Amino acid sequence: MFICSLQKSWYYSRMVMPKNAEKCRKYVCANCNFICSKLSNYNTHLLTAKHQMITNGNQMITINPKKSHKKTINIKKLVLFKNGTFYTFYHLKRPNIIIKNLHNIYKMNKNVLLSFMILCYLLPILFVYYNYTSNNSVSNIICDSKCKHYILVFMLLMGIGTLLYELERNDKYSQIIICVLLIGIYGLIYVNETHIIHYYFAFLVFIAILFFMIRHCYLTSCNTILISSLCLEILTLFYILISINDNIFYGEIIYIFNFAFYYLYLHFIQ
């Protein structure tokens, strides 16, 4: 009996006690008045905003407390932008949200990009306006060897601004459509209207504009003004196709300016 009791005591001390001791172990953060029995919970607590704020006092935080060599972030200067509202670090629950949204900190100002695009777009438009006399289409002017390179330079600059703007919009289908539109515009300017390829590029431009407008009508849940602008664009395109052998200059101007209005209105409602 005595031997059996010794064996039981030995097994109890070797097997039962460590488990209970593990359960009874406490992980304490005195600064935050936080106590838990699991190491995983304690590590999670170390990543919370409350712990970082109390421990580091608004100075620098380390994203991973186990690896102190990781990049640190100055939370005083940290401002995130989401859905039109500014959030500082104080509004965040976990530092890992900072990592997911770091690209938003240095987000380019869409208003500046749009202003740059308008400037690059207006200069060629004004050039076309002042050089229009008896031309039957916009292509007659932009394909003129005297001005095509001037217009092409500004269209290239506008294209850069447009691509940067579309990256900020963060819609891959919109980005693809804009790329197709820019290719069509550059081809339209560079290839003389006497070549059949010029008209393929023109078709590409017209279709890309329509697809862009349809895409964003869908994304904005069929906004009334955007739908009206889209309908006007379709009607104008039909007019251009019907009058292709006649003077279509004003039809093209309406088509271009209506799309410009659509793009501007879309900017302000988003």
Domain check: are 220 and 120 in the same one? yes
Mean pLDDT of 78-97: 45
DSSP secondary structure letter of residue 93: S
User: How sure is the predictor about 211, in pLDDT bands with cuts at 50, 70 and 90?
Assistant: very high
Alpha-carbon distance of 263 to 55, in angstroms, equals: 48
Question: How many structural domains does the chain have?
Answer: 2
Domain check: are 46 and 75 in the same one? yes
> Within a domain: residue 143?
yes
> Within a domain: residue 9?
no
Taking CA atoms, 150 is separated from 116, 160, 190, 234, in Å, by 17, 16, 11, 30
Domain check: are 156 and 91 in the same one? no
Domain check: are 43 and 133 in the same one? no
Tens digits of per-residue pLDDT, 146-186?
788 888 899 999 999 999 999 888 899 999 999 999 999 99
> Within a domain: residue 242?
yes
> Within a domain: residue 130?
yes
Domain check: are 95 and 54 in the same one? yes
Query: Which of 75, 105, 135 is a domain's end point?
Result: 105
Domain span at residue 147 reads 110-269
Domain check: are 44 and 147 in the same one? no
Domain check: are 75 and 173 in the same one? no
pTM score of the predicted model: 0.59
> What's the mean per-residue pLDDT of the chain?
76
Range in 47-61, 99-113, 178-192 the model is least confident about: 99-113
Alpha-carbon distance of 155 to 189, in angstroms, equals: 9
Query: Which of 72, 105, 138 is a domain's end point?
Result: 105
Domain check: are 124 and 57 in the same one? no
Q: Residue 88: what are its φ and ψ, rounded to 5°? A: -95, 175
CB contact at 8 A, 263 and 220 = no
Cα atoms in the 13 Å half-sphere on the side-chain side of 108: 16
**Res 17 pLDDT > 60:** no
Write out the E strands in 13-153.
Answer: 27-29, 34-36, 60-62, 72-74, 79-82, 85-88
Alpha-carbon distance of 164 to 262, in angstroms, equals: 18
Domain check: are 80 and 161 in the same one? no
> Within a domain: residue 93?
yes
Query: Which of 51, 84, 105 is a domain's end point?
Result: 105
Domain check: are 58 and 192 in the same one? no
In 3D space, the residue among 192, 209, 222, 212 whose CA is nearest the CA of residue 255 turns out to be 209
CB contact at 8 A, 168 and 110 = yes
CB contact at 8 A, 72 and 62 = yes
User: Which residue(s) pair with 34 in the sheet?
Assistant: 29
> Within a domain: residue 147?
yes
Q: Which residue has the tokens 């380390």?
A: 62
Mean pLDDT of 68-86: 43
